[in-house]
Amino acid sequence: MSRVLAKFTGAVVALSTAMWSFAPLHADENPIRIGVMAKFAQINGAAILNGAKMAAEEINAAGGIDGRKIELMTYDDQGSASDATLAFQRAVREDGVKAMVGTFLSEIAITLTPWAARLKVPYIVTGAGADQVGQLVHDHYPDYKYVFRTILPASSTAKGVCDSVHDLAGGQLGYKRVALMTEDAAWTKSYDAFLQKCLPENGLEIVKTIKVATDTSDFTPIFQQIEASKAQAIVTGVGIIGNKPVVQWANQQVPMLLMGYNAQAGASAFWKETSGATQGVSTFTAASTDSPLTPKTIPFATKYQEKYGTTPAAHSFATYDALYLLKDAIERAKSTDGGAIADAMEKSDYVGASGHIVFQGPKDPLTHDMKFGKDFVTGVAVQWQDGKQVTVWPTDIAKNKVTLPKFVPSPKK
Amino acid sequence: MLAELIVSGVIISAIYALATTGFTLLYGVSGILNLAHGTTLATAGIVAWYVAGRSDLGLVAALAAGIAAGVAAGLLTFWLVIRPLQRNFELSESDEHVFMLVATLLWTIILQEGLASIFGDVSVSLPQMIPGVVDILGVRTPASSVFVAIIAWLVIGLLWFYVSKTKSGQILLAASINPRGLVLCGINLGRVHLLVWALYGALAGFAGVLVAMILGVSPSSGLDLTATAFSIVVLGGLGSVGGTLIAANLIGFIETATAYTLGPSLRSLPALIILVIVLYFRPQGLFGRR
Amino acid sequence: MTVPRSDRSDTGPWPYIVAAIVVCLLAAVPFLGVNAYLLSILTLGLFFAVFAMCWDLLFGYAGEPNFGATFLIGTGAYTAALLSSNGLASPAVCIVAGAIAAVVAGVLLALPALRLRGPYFGLVTLVATLILRQVIILFSDYTGGEIGIAVPDIITISSTLNFYIALGAAVLTALVLRLLVNSPFGLVLEAIGQDPLNARVLGFEITKYKVSAFCVSAFFSGLAGALMVFYLGTASTNVFVDASVGVQVIIAAIVGGRRTIVGPAIGGVFLIAAAQYLHPLGSLSEMGVAVVALVILLFLPGGLLGATRLFRKAR
Amino acid sequence: MLLEVTDLLKRFGGLKAVDGVSFAVDRGEILGLIGPNGSGKSTVMNLIMGVLKPDSGSILLDSREIGGRSPNRIAGHGVSMVFQHSRPLHQQTVLQNLYLALLPNRLFNFRLSPDIDSRAHDALKLVGLEHFAGRKPSELPFAGLRRLELAKSLVRKPSLLLLDEPFAGLSASEMEEFSDLIRQLRSDERAIILVDHNVKGVRALVDRIVAMSSGQKIADDLPDHVLASPRVREVYLGRGDEAVFRRPHSPAPDAPSALKVEHVSVRYGEAIALDDVSLSVPRGEVTAVVGLNGAGKTSLFNAICGIVPASGTVEYEGRTPRARRAYEIARSGVVLCPETRELFTDMTVQENLGIGGNALAAAEKRRQTEFVESLFPRLAERRKQFARTLSGGEQQQLAIARALMMKPSILLIDEPTLGLAPIIFDAISNVIETLRESGELSLFLAEQNLTFALRHADLIHVMEHGKIKWSGPAGEFDAGSALIA
């Protein structure tokens, strides 16, 4: 017993001396370290990492940030909030990173938000979409001014979904009745509320609203209930559930389109994961690879595809833009001090690959989220057509019309 | 609604039944609750998916690869986890029980992370065996699901045939009833255990492929599958194959009925609560003997 | 059958002296010039140590394999977070309320323990966690569902102070639990765990002992859970109400050396620190920790603490 | 009367383990409760202690009904029980184990009173363990554990002390010491009930004996009277009225042996089950080892068949295999038909036989099945029945039949007649004789029933306390009563 504890103390002492030898990096030293955090084994995490790498390589090739190179540091949060807080602290205190980007799980983003404030390091969320992040910044401004987000929050997504569904289902296909199927998760609260108001206002009656547990494995009862409601299309709101609803929708040949928002369907590997069952599924997403939202969109998408052999996901766009925003902000602030970067970031007015990025101010409800709508970030709707994501909305940049899978009957006009 | 409930209840129950048969067989013969069961299913499903996407042989190759992956996972579990633990004589019986559970859980993490790093942590689905839908009792049902349900019961039937009609099957059955008696009959229990793990792996592999086809699997879905299998097996009574089949149908139907009546987001809750209540009043499960 | 020996009878005052020295050394860590990151690892590790010690009281002494440690931890954490986020109470009150709510959960969990044994009990505890998780997701209007609850105020942002809070919780837990298991109460508890029938024949009414053990375990689990909420700033299901976190707690206890209280504490810190120091493995670090834990489980059933005893015996 | 038991009944499924038993004990008395295995004596003890709940009948302690109460409450009324298998707390010291017995059933009890400490020390002194106070129970010799358990009961100052097989596993000298210890416990304040199957051991110790058989009381009298009772002798020795039949034949001393056991010992932890046993089984003959329950017969058979680890050597047909495992020994033709039968209860008769013949080729298996079924026509009739639905006698036949399916060269049958109705004896006797006449195998029986053993055996070994007490041809065997009186 005594020896055990003695050993344990020994280990602690050894550990602490080891720590001591890791002196924190000096602020002025080259290069600038930027952290990327996510669960990299997940496809979303890989998308984040790839976007960050591409941006960093481009920036470094073009001379860096004010002559200083970017050094990317990666932190795997293992999908756990407690791991993430440790990793964040390691990044800042140990490795001296000047800013952190990443995170696709809302619970982690919300946990890290106060930590960014405590550590006074800018943190750009590039994957998680819960409105709460922006609300937290709003409620705790200016303490939480370090937190930004370059991916659309749930409420903006809801707006995009409402607009795109209105144009596609109501306009192109002439549907009158839709069902709303969303996962039983916190982020869908505001999403549902918004759509329940917005869709009827746009002439689409919601004949069935269904909440789905995130661990649902069998969707048969759900589809059958929706079918019984005589809906003509299903407006989805799924982010966590994964490919099950899509695969079972195709297997059961549910005779109505799946549209709305489906996080997984926005990723390019989705065709392979579902063994092609995603044919005909459409989703709202940040940007697509085949239509020029901005002049930067297609060059980025093409280069990304060449480099990684897969199309960029919304997270890749967000992370890619986040790094350029950081570069821009640091150059304007002429400092790598967290507070200075954050203040500069707040004033960003930048055209990125996913749109014209301007952040909402302290007075706006979702502080430091991107402004959404015409002239800002708009998002697109894509549909899976024969193994490819094809942009079908907004109508002015669409590459094709919405097509119907074999088992979905054409609407009687 | 009744027709829908029956059709989808039957299909989901068939999959549950097949997915838990191996688990209960393994417990019956070797007394081990393999909490890595769900991940073994997932391993088979993911490997089959990988092969299906890369091979011209399509589903046949995928099924073969899935079963092979299941057997490999089963045997590795036996060799790397179970045997070392069984050879540790320092442990008391109740300690060994808990150690076995914890060790298989650790093995779950290892398998899961291994899968995630090789194939990525994504949810995957196999292409359908038969495309198209059929009409049953007025319910449009994927032909594949019907086929899978039939195959599931067919495999269970084959297993029954194997156990009751073949020599090695009889030895397995005898081992689950009285391993001491088997030793007296000159049979090497070590080989019986190897056989049961291999058979377990094959069953889990087959079930994993079917689950991946109908429901989809991901590396991290293993624990959920284990929880379902564990619940079914304990509800039916540990070691009772008949009890397991009945409990699989019970849970399958309760879940489906809940989804139809109370709403899909409550799907698993009543089944869990019923499980707890049953165990409270019948600690040995519905058909358990102890 | 040989059973790993406990340190209780044959070492005299030494364990206490050593323990006091270790606590003093730990308390001095912030003054050793280490950086805040090490402190944060130790902070989380010490919270985990509390969870593992509480589990050990139930398994190592009362003989109940609780696979639902997070049922207790989560109840404490969510109670505190809910009270705080709704502005109903100050952090201190929230923490106490969390611990008390966890005791109620402990009584709930003790009920099946009175009837079920072994894997059956294990399953019920596991299911309890799943049910709690479902309920939290179901009532996401109040609980934040899978995203969790952010608490408005945290106790302190000073990593040193947070470290001392965690250290205090761990030392308090260790002290109370050690005193408890060394007392007549602990003796009876262990008798019940090993052979409930024999204990009853000796005249002990096992229900009240078991329920009390669950209450004590739940109290400290809930306390640490609530404290951890105010350290992290959020309560979320993946951290506090998760079957796999419950498994991590068990792993920590077994890796450290069950049935010693001190061992699981070491295991808790070890597990958290190992995960951090294996981070160069990237996404494989979790696997690395699992492999290390499995090897210890298979070949050193006495855990780290037991291993040092073997070593001592060998000399 | 301190304890009055009236019409006690306990069923296990369809079996009446205790069937209308009544008896009484008063303070100052030591009562012996005897009976062969399965007679229900331990069940009676468990019913009194509350470990089991009676189906009907009453148990009055000081005129207060205690039947069906929980053990802790019955313990609170002053009943204490020493279990046959001692289960101390292994991680605590001997002294702490005693504290446990002294602690009140009070939750908030965090300090040990000095009173408890001194009483614990006194009790240890009484049972002679004072020098072991600081040791772990695992360091105690086997008899020491028994003493520890006794001390744990004693410190509770019980008015009724129940001792379940206190002498099992003890050597003769330890038994003597332990008897003395129990004798010291006799007091006017206390009654003692002592369960044993070893009649000889309790005779000098007890005031009165209640004998049980098949769940019923068959005698309740002074020890000598009970031992003289024809009913009791029948239960212990087989049918006493039948003239003992002996085989005239005696094997030549230099006959080749099928099995040769040399210096074999078996220990279970600290308990010695088999103590340096040497014997031989001549080829082609019937050999029997006789002795009471607990004498070591089963351990001997298990040692021969590799089921328990043993020291010493066993030679099979002149070969001494090295470290062979149980299934290899069985496969080589040395086949055990154990007392517990170990049938595959949820399989049919035919399937059970099939497993027995698993190593045989199909044709041979058929032939052997036919042979076995001709020996046991009952089994042929019940081919499709599950083994668990068979009667006890049929199960015994099935166990022997299954063993024969392995075509043994040496067949060991442990207690072939245990718990069977005499009518089944004849069926089994016939089979044994048929097998002897076939000359194909050597038979080795373990029997409590002397009559049965003497009817078949050419050579007899008598065992007691794990040792061979006597060996010789059946013709020279004498004084069957040595076993019981």
Average pLDDT over residues C156-169: 90
Q: Which of A118-132, A355-369, D133-147 has the lowest mean pLDDT?
A: D133-147
Q: What pLDDT does C314 receive?
A: 60
- What's the pLDDT band for A9 if we cut at 50, 70, 90? very low
Q: What pLDDT does C4 receive?
A: 35
Q: What pLDDT does B238 receive?
A: 86
**Partners of residue D286 on adjacent β-strands:** D443
Q: Which of D77, D100, D149, D156 has the highest number of chain C CBs within 10 A, making it the mutation to test binding with C?
A: D100
Average pLDDT over residues C176-185: 93
Residue C217 near residue C57 (C-beta atoms within 8 A): yes
Show the beta-strand stretches assigned E in chain C.
Answer: 149-150, 234-235
Residue among C33, C232, C279 whose CB faces A81 most closely: C232
- The reply to whether C6 falls in a domain is no
- What's the pLDDT band for A289 if we cut at 50, 70, 90? confident
Domain boundaries of chain B, sorted by first residue: 2-124+131-281
Min distance B174 CA to chain A CA atoms (Å) = 36
**Average predicted confidence (pLDDT) for chain A:** 88
Those of residues 20-49 in A touching chain C at CB distance below 8 A are 20, 22, 24, 39-41
Length of chain A, in residues: 413
Min distance D14 CA to chain C CA atoms (Å) = 25
Q: Give chain B positions within 8 Å (CB) of C293.
A: 106
Taking the alpha carbons of B177, B183, B187, B192 in that order, is the dihedral positive or negative? positive
Q: What pLDDT does D248 receive?
A: 58
Q: Give chain D positions within 8 Å (CB) of C200.
A: 50, 70-72, 75
- What's the pLDDT band for D94 if we cut at 50, 70, 90? very high
Is the pLDDT confidence value at A3 over 60?
A: no
Within D158-265, residue ranges assigned H as helices are: 172-185, 199-203, 223-228, 230-237
Question: For chain C, what is the domain count?
Answer: 1
Which of A69-73, C118-122, D459-463 has the largest mean confidence?
A: A69-73
Is the pLDDT confidence value at D25 over 50?
A: yes
Is C183 close to D110, i.e. CB distance below 8 A? yes
Check CB contact of C141 with chain B, cutoff 8 Å. Answer: no
CA–CA gap between residue D142 and residue D397 (Å, rounded): 37
Place of tokens 């190759």: B61
Check CB contact of D383 with chain B, cutoff 8 Å. Answer: no
Is D92 close to C203, i.e. CB distance below 8 A? no
The helix/strand/coil state of A395 is helix
Q: Give chain D positions within 8 Å (CB) of B173.
A: 344, 346-347, 351
Model-level pTM? 0.89
Residue among B33, B223, B284 whose CB faces C244 most closely: B223
CA A262 from chain center: how many Å?
12
The helix/strand/coil state of D337 is strand
Is the pLDDT confidence value at B24 over 90?
A: yes
The DSSP 8-state label assigned to residue D119 in this structure reads H
Q: Which of B85, B106, B108 has the highest number of chain C CBs within 10 A, making it the mutation to test binding with C?
A: B106
Residue A320 near residue A352 (C-beta atoms within 8 A): yes
| Domains defined for chain D, CATH in brackets | 3-237 (3.40.50.300), 257-483 (3.40.50.300)
Token digits for A179? 């069902």
Q: What pLDDT does C312 receive?
A: 65
Average pLDDT over residues D430-451: 88
Q: Give chain A positions within 8 Å (CB) of B251.
A: none
Q: Give chain C positions within 8 Å (CB) of A263.
A: none
Residue B216 near residue B123 (C-beta atoms within 8 A): yes
Q: What pLDDT does A330 receive?
A: 96
Place of tokens 């624990």: B223
Q: What is the CATH number of the domain that holds C235?
A: 1.10.3470
**Average predicted confidence (pLDDT) for chain C:** 88
Neighbours, chain C (3 or more CB pairs < 8 A): A, B, D
Q: What pLDDT does A412 receive?
A: 63
Q: Give chain A positions within 8 Å (CB) of C285.
A: 76, 78
Q: Give chain B positions within 8 Å (CB) of C284.
A: 113, 117
Place of tokens 């309320």: C97
Q: Between A4 and B13, whose confidence is greater? A: B13
pLDDT in tens, B159-184: 999 999 999 999 999 999 999 999 99
Show the beta-strand stretches assigned E in D83-229.
Answer: 160-164, 191-196, 208-213, 216-221
**Average predicted confidence (pLDDT) for chain D:** 87
- The reply to whether C20 falls in a domain is yes
Min distance C212 CA to chain B CA atoms (Å) = 20
Residue B12 near residue B252 (C-beta atoms within 8 A): yes
CA D113 from chain center: how many Å?
42
Q: What pLDDT does A14 receive?
A: 42
Q: Based on the number of CB atoms within 10 Å of its own CB, is D16 exposed (0-12), middle (13-18) or buried (19 or more)?
A: middle
Range of the domain at C169: 14-314
Amino acid at A217: S
Query: Taking the CA of residue D442 as centre, how many other CA atoms within 13 Å lie in the half-sphere pointing to its CB?
Result: 24
The helix/strand/coil state of C258 is coil
Min distance C211 CA to chain A CA atoms (Å) = 30
Q: Which of A242-256, C51-65, D82-96 has the lowest mean pLDDT?
A: D82-96
Q: Between D228 and D99, whose confidence is greater? A: D99
Angle at D116 between CA D112 and CA D121, to 5 degrees: 120
Length of chain C, in residues: 315
Chain B positions with Cβ closer than 8 Å to A: 4-5, 8, 11-12, 49, 52-53, 113, 116-117, 120-128, 132-133, 139-142, 144-145, 214-216, 218, 224, 255-256, 259-260, 263-268
Taking the alpha carbons of D436, D441, D442, D448 in that order, is the dihedral positive or negative? negative
Q: Which of B168, B172, B178, B240 has the highest number of chain D CBs within 10 A, making it the mutation to test binding with D?
A: B178
Name the residue in chain B with its Cα closest to that of D348. B164
CA torsion, points B187, B192, B195, B201, in degrees to nearest 10? Answer: 170
Q: What pLDDT does B131 receive?
A: 83
- What's the pLDDT band for A210 if we cut at 50, 70, 90? very high
- The reply to whether C3 falls in a domain is no
Q: Which of D376, D394, D329, D327 is nearest to D355 (CA)?
A: D327
Q: Which of B115, B267, B269 has the highest number of chain A CBs within 10 A, making it the mutation to test binding with A?
A: B267
Q: What pLDDT does A11 receive?
A: 42
CA C67 from chain center: how many Å?
12
- The reply to whether C4 falls in a domain is no
Place of tokens 């990096």: A25
Helices B269-281 and B222-236, packing angle to 10 deg: 40
Query: Taking the CA of residue C229 as centre, how many other CA atoms within 13 Å lie in the half-sphere pointing to its CB?
Result: 37
Residue D411 near residue D434 (C-beta atoms within 8 A): no
Place of tokens 């003989």: C63
Residue among B88, B95, B276 whose CB faces C127 most closely: B276
Angle at A370 between CA A369 and CA A372, to 5 degrees: 125
- What's the pLDDT band for A29 if we cut at 50, 70, 90? low
Q: Which of B219, B146, B193, B269 is nearest to B27 (CA)?
A: B193
Q: What pLDDT does D334 receive?
A: 93
- What's the pLDDT band for D18 if we cut at 50, 70, 90? very high
At the topology level, CATH places domain B2-124+131-281 in ABC transporter involved in vitamin B12 uptake, BtuC (1.10.3470)
Token digits for A371? 């402004």
pLDDT in tens, D33-56: 988 777 888 899 999 999 999 999
Q: Based on the number of CB atoms within 10 Å of its own CB, is D479 exposed (0-12), middle (13-18) or buried (19 or more)?
A: exposed
- The reply to whether C1 falls in a domain is no
- What's the pLDDT band for D59 if we cut at 50, 70, 90? very high
CA–CA gap between residue B194 and residue A3 (Å, rounded): 42
Q: What pLDDT does D251 receive?
A: 59
Average pLDDT over residues D255-267: 88
Q: What pLDDT does A2 receive?
A: 38
Is the pLDDT confidence value at C38 over 60?
A: yes
Q: Give chain C positions within 8 Å (CB) of D138.
A: 2-3
Token digits for D394? 């049929």
- The reply to whether C74 falls in a domain is yes
Is A225 close to B256, i.e. CB distance below 8 A? no
Is B186 close to D327, i.e. CB distance below 8 A? yes
The helix/strand/coil state of D103 is coil
Is B106 close to C251, i.e. CB distance below 8 A? yes
Q: Which of A3, A7, A8, A139 has the highest number of chain C CBs within 10 A, making it the mutation to test binding with C?
A: A8
- What's the pLDDT band for D427 if we cut at 50, 70, 90? confident
Share of chain D above pLDDT 70, in %: 93
Is the pLDDT confidence value at C10 over 50?
A: no
Q: Give chain D positions within 8 Å (CB) of C197.
A: 51, 71
Is C14 close to A12, i.e. CB distance below 8 A? no
Helices (H) and strands (E) in chain A, counts: 13, 14
Place of tokens 């929706």: A226
Q: What pLDDT does D478 receive?
A: 65
Residue A320 near residue A300 (C-beta atoms within 8 A): yes
Q: Between B227 and B55, whose confidence is greater? A: B227
Min distance A152 CA to chain C CA atoms (Å) = 17
CA–CA gap between residue C303 and residue C255 (Å, rounded): 5
**Average predicted confidence (pLDDT) for chain B:** 91
Token digits for C175? 């002290």
Q: What pLDDT does B263 receive?
A: 84
Q: What pLDDT does D249 receive?
A: 60
Average pLDDT over residues D207-226: 90
CA–CA gap between residue D165 and residue D197 (Å, rounded): 8
Q: What pLDDT does A7 receive?
A: 40
Radius of gyration of the CA atoms of chain A, in A: 22
Q: Which helix (H) or strand (E) holds C168?
A: helix C159-182
Name the residue in chain B with its Cα closest to that of D326. B183
The 3-state secondary structure of chain B, one letter per residue: CHHHHHHHHHHHHHHHHHHHHHHHHHHHHHCCCCCCHHHHHHHHHHHHHHHHHHCCCCHHHHHHHHHHHHHHHHHHHHHHHHHHHHCCCCCCHHHHHHHHHHHHHHHHHHHHHHHHHHHCCCCECCCCCCCCEEEECCEEEEHHHHHHHHHHHHHHHHHHHHHHHCHHHHHHHHHHHCHHHHHHCCCCHHHHHHHHHHHHHHHHHHHHHHHHHHCCECHHHHHHHHHHHHHHHHHHCCCCHHHHHHHHHHHHHHHHHHHHHCCHHHCCHHHHHHHHHHHHHCCCCCCCCC
Q: Give chain B positions within 8 Å (CB) of D345.
A: 177-178
Dihedrals φ, ψ of D461, to 5°? Answer: -115, 135
| Domains defined for chain A, CATH in brackets | 32-152+295-358 (3.40.50.2300), 155-285+379-397 (3.40.50.2300)
- The reply to whether C2 falls in a domain is no
Q: Which of C276, D237, D17, D197 is nearest to A95 (CA)?
A: C276
Q: What pLDDT does C171 receive?
A: 96
Question: In sequence order, what are the residues at sequence separation of 6 or more whose Cβ sits closer than 8 angstroms to the Cβ of residue D341?
Answer: D395, D396, D398, D399
Other Cβ atoms within 10 Å of A382 Cβ, number: 28
Radius of gyration of the CA atoms of chain D, in A: 24
pLDDT in tens, A90-147: 999 889 999 999 999 888 999 999 999 989 999 999 998 889 999 999 999 999 999 9
Min distance B116 CA to chain A CA atoms (Å) = 6
Those of residues 201-260 in A touching chain C at CB distance below 8 A are 213-214, 240
CA–CA gap between residue D378 and residue D352 (Å, rounded): 15
- The reply to whether C264 falls in a domain is yes
Tell me the pairing of strands D191-196 and D160-164. parallel
Cis peptide before C112 (omega within 30 of 0): no
Q: Which of B164, B171, B183 has the highest number of chain D CBs within 10 A, making it the mutation to test binding with D?
A: B183
Residue among B110, B114, B230 whose CB faces C123 most closely: B230
Residue A161 near residue C117 (C-beta atoms within 8 A): no
